[in-house]
Amino acid sequence: MLTGSGSPRTQSVSIFGHTCDMPIVVAPTAMAGLVWYQSERELAKAAAASGIPFGAAMQAISSVEEITAASPGQVWFQLYFFGENEQSSEELARDLSRRAWNKGVRTLVVTMPVPGNREYRIRNGFEMPIRYSARNLYDVAAHPRWTVGVFARYLAAGRGPAFTNCPVYHRCSILSRKKPLGLMPGLSWDHIRRLRDTWKGNFVVKGILRPDDAILAAKRGADGIVVSDHGGRRFDSAVAPIQVLAEIVDEVGQQLTVIADSGVRRGSDILKFLAMGAKAVMIGRGLLYGTAVGGMSGATRMIEILRRELDTVMAMTGCIHSRDLNRDYLEISGSWGDHDRRANAAILGDAGSVSAATESEQLAEAKNVTEQS
C-alpha cells in the first residue's frame, strides 16, 4: 500500500518476444464456433483488438486459414496427435503445423491427450457424430435465437459445423455419421521431440501437472508449457494447476515460459496465478460466455471486465506492474498436497482476500444471458 510511485499500473507482458497488453492468452477451445456464428473468428478479432494472443483449436469450426485471415493479431495453433497409427498421426501433425506456419502462426501448442469419461456428454448425446434424442431436439427448438442465428446460418452457407482443420477425407460434421479420428495410441516424448525438430517457431506443451514432466518437456526442446488440467473436465480427482504451479515454476521457470489455466474466472484469479510464477494465463470458458452474448463486442467486453478486475486487485496490493507480482502477495492456507481442493491463496492487500463483486456479477450475468439465449 501507499507505494507513492505516481506511475500508472500496467499489465503488459512479453511472451515469446511479443508484447501483450495483458497477461492473458485466449485458450484454444474445441467447437467454440457453436456458441456464435463464426465465433472463433469473432473472438480472434477481439483478442487482436485487446492486444492478446488467440489460441486456435485443432477441433475448431473455422479453419486456421479462416481465423488468421480474419484476425490481424497473434494466432497460436493447438495441435493434438490424432490418427489410427503412429505414421498417419505424425504425418497429420506435420501437415497441420505446415499449414499453420504458412498462414503466419509462430506458436504451436501441442496438447497432451487425456482420455476422459465425459458422462454429461453421453447423457446429452453431444458426441461426434451427434446422437439425436427427444431431449436435445427439444433443446434446439427451445433456443430459436441460437438455432436461427448460428446453426441455420452454417447450413445456409452450404456446410454444417465441422472440424475444418482436418483433411477432407477425415473431416466430419456434427450432422454426419462419420466418426472423428481418435487420439493416437502410444504417444511418447519421442513423438514430441520429432515434431519439435520440424517446427521452426515457439513450441509449447499443454497439459503439464508434474515437475518431472515439465523437465522432460524442456529436454525435448519446448519453449514453454501450460500447467493445465484441461478445465477440470477430464478427471475430477486431478490436482488443480494452482496447487502445483509454484513447484513447477521453481523447477523450469528459468528455462521455459510457464503459462497456466483452469479455473480462471476473474481478475483476482489471474493475479494469484501470476504471483505463483506464471507468465500469463489462458482463459477459455469466460470469454466464450461473452462471445455467445455478442460476438466480437461481447468478447471484447469480457476481456475489458477482466482487465479492470486485475487492475483493481493490483491497486489493492499496491503492485504497479504485473511482472512484479510474487508469492509475497499471497497468504496460502489449507493443504496443497492432499485431496482437499479447497486450499486457498488469499491476496494480501488493503481488503485482505480481494474480491470485485460488481465485475463478477457481470460475468455471472453474461453466463445467465447465454444460457437463456
Say if residues 203 and 233 touch (Cβ distance below 8 Å): no
Residue (of 80, 181, 173, 83) closest to 129 by Cα position: 173
For the chain, the maximum distance between any two Cα atoms, rounded to a whole number of angstroms, is 64
List b or e across 202-222, with b for residues whose CB sees 16 or more CB atoms inside 10 angstroms.
Answer: bbbbbbbbeeebbbbbbebeb
Nearest to 150 by CA among 265, 302, 293: 293
d(CA 308, CA 189): 40
Place of cell 514430441: 192
Amino acid identity of residue 157, one-letter, is A
What are the Cα distances from residue 204, in Å, to 55, 93, 109, 224?
12, 14, 5, 5
Task: Tell me if residue 191 is catalytic.
Answer: no
CB 281 within 8 A of CB 245: no
Q: Are strands 257-260 and 224-227 parallel, antiparallel or unpaired?
A: parallel
Rounded to whole angstroms, the Cα distance separating 367 from 372 reads 9
Cell numbers linked to 264: 480462471
Q: Which residue in 18, 143, 191, 230 is the catalytic one?
A: 230
Strand, coil or helix: what is 286? helix
Instruction: Judge contact between 296 and 42, C-beta under 8 A.
Output: yes
Catalytic amino acids? 230
